[in-house]
Amino acid sequence: MMEEEELEFVEELEAVLQLTPEVQLAIEQVFPSQDPLDRADFNAVEYINTLFPTEQSLANIDEVVNKIRLKIRRLDDNIRTVVRGQTNVGQDGRQALEEAQKAIQQLFGKIKDIKDKAEKSEQMVKEITRDIKQLDHAKRHLTTSITTLNHLHMLAGGVDSLEAMTRRRQYGEVANLLQGVMNVLEHFHKYMGIPQIRQLSERVKAAQTELGQQILADFEEAFPSQGTKRPGGPSNVLRDACLVANILDPRIKQEIIKKFIKQHLSEYLVLFQENQDVAWLDKIDRRYAWIKRQLVDYEEKYGRMFPREWYMTERIAVEFCHVTRTELAKIMRTRAKEIEVKLLLFAIQRTTNFEGFLAKRFSGCTLTDGTLKKIESPLASTNPFLEDEPTPEMEELATEKGDLDHPKKPKVPDNPFHGIVSKCFEPHLYVYIESQDKNLGELIDRFVADFKAQGPPKPNTDEGGAVLPSCADLFVYYKKCMVQCSQLSTGEPMIALTTIFQKYLREYAWKILSGNLPKTTTSSGGLTISSLLKEKEGSEVAKFTLEELCLICSILSTAEYCLATTQQLEEKLKEKVDVSLIERINLTGEMDTFSTVISSSIQLLVQDLDAACDPALTAMSKMPWQNVEHVGDQSPYVTSVILHIKQNVPIIRDNLASTRKYFTQFCIKFANSFIPKFITHLFKCKPISMVGAEQLLLDTHSLKMVLLDLPSIGSQVVRKAPASYTKIVVKGMTRAEMILKVVMAPHEPLVVFVDNYIKLLTDCNTETFQKILDMKGLKRSEQSSMLELLRQRLPTPPSGAEGSGSLSLMAPTPEQESSRIRKLEKLIKKRL
């Protein structure tokens, strides 16, 4: 019973002393120990087995027990000491806490004493400075009072003097005095509640009103609305009166300016009345000559009378422009049927020249109509319309306009007077647009007639295909029209002109370019097998003559030039037109039309060379390849294909020297057309013997080398073919070579043959496989089992057969087959 109780006590003690892993780890870090008794996973049985590993070791059991008991007594002593020490520590902690609280109370008391002393010091300082502040306030108030009294004295004296000078018309002294009185009066705004101050303010206002009325009366007397000017001219009194008007209400100044300008332009309204002969557009120069004389006369007689900041000369010119615009608009509405294109352009040109004269002479600071201050976008220096040297047509146009530098120098981008008069012509610009429509139609008809009369361009092998001269003429005329129209208006007329441009760009593409492309004929002047066997070089001709090939290249170059220039024309039109109308400028459709002409031209060149090679490929497919006994040089059909390539490609390359990218497109399209056709005819060569397949492989390699050299064939300068073209040729002709290699391989064992086919042709399928079997001359019964085997092995990834493909191709080959392949390789190396 006692033993059971002891066991229960031990279990309870273990349950109580079970520590968490975190606590156990912390204990091990603070008190590291190697004693097994200190480990968390202590096992008594293992520990006893460690102490007594054998029966003989039990002889020392008493000694071991004594050591353990001694260790237990030491642990009990340590625990007792620690427990007693913790009791004393708690009492010491409470004592230390009480001492800290007492120290905090003493510190708080000292801080409170310091605060009280600081408040007493602050109160003492306030009492000391109170008297000083009172003295400062008294000084400030006294200074303000003295200053105000001085201002009041000045104001009273100034008002009296102002009234007296006004009566005596001493405007020079009034100008200086009035400004000082008004400045002094500003100091009394907060004292307007005082009757005397308010009375002085009213007297100042009355003096200003009287001055205004008096100055207006003086100007009316000097420059009456009806009659002539005073013979004595401007006086010093009026000059001083203008200085006073600068200080008075701005309406006085505006009234003086308005009456003077009206009186100054009254003669103009009489001379150029609507019923006068000089009022019509053909004599518009006289209007501008009259105002120039008037401005010179004004500067001589009245230039010093008005202040410079009034800009009277510019104001007279601006008012003249407004009146002229109104009068011209009125007379053009009345006589709209009499307006012709030349007359309209003449009037607009003279008007824009006058606006340019105003822009050079004046700054435009008096313009109040924001819509007239037009700022155009800077002209892009990369635009070909600005980079080109002035052509004779443009120089003639510039001479008519009186501005020879126009093609080189763009219009001043910030002319504030642009449109101030010429805006009145905008409603009548439909006459100009209709005229340009008619002129462009006649120009296109002339281009068509000239092309028929002169015939196609001459072959050009030195500088590349010639661009048709009519193309340059068309865009020069476009430039002329665009410059003219942009000077007339940048609004809806520019949109209408753009529509006309689009119309005749399409007509040019259809009538001049597409309409003159040579038509493909159906007559076949192809080669026969006998002619191929005889190798009569030069006896076959292409469908297109040399002149026709040059014509196609010339049309292609012209279309490329039109495409690039049309894109630049669109950018230029967007620069010229108003910002709100930019989205309506779109020549994408016309650029697509020229792109279509380019594609058609390239396709014609490809079809011509392709058709020339067709008889040779047909002859290849009809040759008895099963009867070929030995491998020789390249076959006659290869010689024929190379001959046609050497005849056509150098001509095309030389005539497309200025457009290399389209020559590259021609090469790529020809390769994409010729190689699939070659492979198709290759499948028609059946049955083929082993020697015939070797000969075909040699011919295929020869064609591959010629195609790779196609871009520079017959050229003295050898250039590396474009990578895109080389990739197409290598991929296509390699497929043809792989087909022939499959044909050359023995078809037994079947598994090896099928695996070789899958390995060599990445795009393998049953249809191609059956064609290869037909080329080998196998019967249908033999083909069925091979096709079934192919269907079973097609899902297998090509990489699985990659490692053994080459070995499986050669392993079953007899010694004779190996020698033939080695001979074929030697022949290919010899040709390379």
pLDDT tens-place string over residues 741-770: 888 888 777 778 888 778 887 777 788 888
Looking at the 3D structure of the chain, how many domains does it have?
Answer: 3
Residue 350 inside a domain? The answer is no
> How do residues 158-184 score in pLDDT, each as one tens digit?
677 767 777 777 676 676 677 667 777
Name the residue among 412, 432, 407 with its Cα closest to residue 347: 432
CA dihedral of 339, 345, 351, 357, whole degrees rounded to 10: -170
* Whole-number pLDDT of residue 819: 52
Angle between helices 250-271 and 195-222 (to 10 degrees): 10
Calculate the alpha carbon distances from 284 to 291, 334, 489, 809, 816 in Å.
Answer: 12, 16, 19, 96, 103
Q: Is the pLDDT of residue 375 over 50?
A: no
Tell me the three-class secondary structure of 243-254, residue by residue.
HHHHHCCHHHHH
- Which class for 675: exposed (0-12), middle (13-18), buried (19 or more C-beta within 10 A)? buried
Q: Which of 83, 107, 125 corresponds to the end of one domain?
A: 125
* Mean pLDDT on 146-157: 73
Residue 391 inside a domain? The answer is no
Ranges 104-108, 459-463, 540-544: which has the least confidence: 459-463
- Quickly state the pLDDT bin for 465 (edges 50, 70, 90): low
- Tell whether the torsion through CA atoms of 641, 644, 646 and 648 is positive or negative: negative
* Whole-number pLDDT of residue 784: 83
Give the residue, 371 or 226, on which the prediction is more confident. Answer: 226
* Whole-number pLDDT of residue 604: 92
- Quickly state the pLDDT bin for 392 (edges 50, 70, 90): very low
- Quickly state the pLDDT bin for 226 (edges 50, 70, 90): low
Q: What residues make up the domain containing 28?
A: 2-125
Residue 680 inside a domain? The answer is no
Q: Is the pLDDT of residue 493 over 70?
A: yes
Q: Is the pLDDT of residue 442 over 70?
A: yes
* Whole-number pLDDT of residue 506: 92
Q: Are 696 and 740 in contact (CB under 8 A)?
A: yes
Percent of the chain surpassing pLDDT 90: 12
d(CA 267, CA 297): 14
Residue 450 inside a domain? The answer is yes
d(CA 86, CA 585): 97
Q: Are 604 and 514 in contact (CB under 8 A)?
A: no
* Whole-number pLDDT of residue 589: 92
* Mean pLDDT on 680-690: 87
Residue 448 inside a domain? The answer is yes
- Quickly state the pLDDT bin for 670 (edges 50, 70, 90): very high
Q: Is the pLDDT of residue 680 over 50?
A: yes
* Whole-number pLDDT of residue 598: 93
Q: Is the pLDDT of residue 612 over 80?
A: yes
Q: Is the pLDDT of residue 378 over 70?
A: no
Give the residue, 482 or 5, on which the prediction is more confident. Answer: 482
Ranges 89-103, 410-424, 469-483, 521-535: which has the least confidence: 521-535
**Mean of the per-residue pLDDT values for the chain?**
77
d(CA 619, CA 623): 6
* Whole-number pLDDT of residue 568: 92
Count other Cβ atoms within 10 Å, centred on residue 758: 20
* Whole-number pLDDT of residue 411: 40
Ranges 182-191, 578-587, 716-725: which has the least confidence: 182-191
- Quickly state the pLDDT bin for 820 (edges 50, 70, 90): low
Residue 336 inside a domain? The answer is no
Residue 451 inside a domain? The answer is yes
* Whole-number pLDDT of residue 795: 56
* Whole-number pLDDT of residue 811: 34
Name the residue among 69, 48, 66 with its Cα closest to residue 57: 48
Give the residue, 115 or 743, on which the prediction is more confident. Answer: 115
* Whole-number pLDDT of residue 195: 79
Residue 230 inside a domain? The answer is no
- Quickly state the pLDDT bin for 385 (edges 50, 70, 90): very low
> How do residues 253-290 score in pLDDT, each as one tens digit?
888 888 888 888 888 888 888 778 888 888 888 888 99
> How do residues 517-541 score in pLDDT, each as one tens digit?
888 654 333 333 333 333 333 334 4
* Whole-number pLDDT of residue 808: 33
Q: Which of 125, 159, 179 corresponds to the end of one domain?
A: 125
Q: Which of 69, 95, 125 corresponds to the end of one domain?
A: 125
Whichever domain contains 430, its CATH number is 1.10.357.50
